[in-house]
Amino acid sequence: MNYFNFVKYIEINPTELCNLQCSFCPRAHGYPNQNLHMSLDTAREIKNQLDNLHFKGKVIFAGRGEPTLTKNFDEILDIFLENEPNYRVQVTTNGKKIDDLKKFFNDARVRFSYDIYTPDESEANRIIEKYNEYSNIRLIRKPDYGLNFDQFTKGKSVRRGLTGSKEGMTNRAGFLGENTFDEFEDNACAKLVYNMYIDWNGNYNLCCDDWNPLILGNIFEENIEEFINYNENLNGYRKKHFCENSRKGLPACQTCNRRSPVTGDAREDYMNLIRMNEM
Ligand code: SF4
């Protein structure tokens, strides 16, 4: 058992470019829009490493930019879909450029999570009607009414007629405002356990919530297995969260309002692993 066994989601930020500025996003609050993209070499390196590790979770293209704006994004997807991988692939998108990826529509190997941000009901209905027929496109309404993130979390999301999902709107580790608590009762964050975040240039970042991204390493210098098991900085975060039940003094975490506890057997197994590595 090692830390990689716990990882369920590899989140990849393939570009720093976006074509929207939603009110609840750091991009409407000073985060720069940059024409930076993942190279095919970087994509292949990640893919090869995941294959070597027999990764069985989910590779999610999302991050701080809009994935469908990534240069050669269809080729990047093709790379990740080569050789019938054990993992699943998801693209989270605002849908503006989704038609560029038409060749993947109804392709069971890829799942699109299409966030509909328009507050215009007829436009939203048009989008739902147009894409509802594709079995691999999940449509989620997250209309941008010009609210801040806190108000947004109290709004309704619609997933093919369902309501209620808050979709994890947070203060982006402090980028959108201060947290309003001292500490949670349980400060240990599941993002450290189940998620990994890789930036467009192969840098390892802490998590999707950190919009002043901490650079913890790079995929070309430290492979995924080495990073997750031996990176000292990451281990420091782990120990503080799980052994001291605290986020104090940790850049990003100390200002983050995400409450995301780890429960059950997984918690116990994870704690045992930390203890074992301490011996
Ligand atoms: S506490 Fe916040 S910043 Fe820290 S790992 Fe969790 S989600 Fe990321």
Q: Which of 253, 260, 262 to mutate to test the pocket of ligand 1 (most atoms within 8 A of CB)?
A: 253
Q: What is the model's pLDDT at position 181?
A: 60
Helix axes 73-81, 40-52, angle to 10 degrees: 20
3-state helix, strand, coil in the chain (%, to 5): 35, 15, 50
Q: What is the model's pLDDT at position 163?
A: 27
Q: Of all protein residues, whose CA lies closest to atom 8 belonging to ligand 1? A: 207
Residue 88 has pLDDT above 60, yes or no: yes
Atom of ligand 1 nearest to the CA of 241: 1
Let me know the angle formed at the C-alpha of 110 by 108 and 115, rounded to the nearest 5 degrees. 120
Q: Is residue 141 in contact with ligand 1, taking CB distance under 6 Å? A: no
CA 125 to chain centre: 27
Residue 146 has pLDDT above 90, yes or no: no
pTM of the model: 0.92
Q: Of all protein residues, whose CA lies closest to atom 6 belonging to ligand 1? A: 189
Give the HSE-up count for residue 40: Cα atoms under 13 Å, Cβ half-sphere. 7
**Residues with Cβ within 8 Å of residue 279, at least 6 apart in sequence:** none
Q: Is residue 62 in contact with ligand 1, taking CB distance under 6 Å? A: no
How many C-beta atoms lie closer than 10 Å to residue 41's C-beta? 11
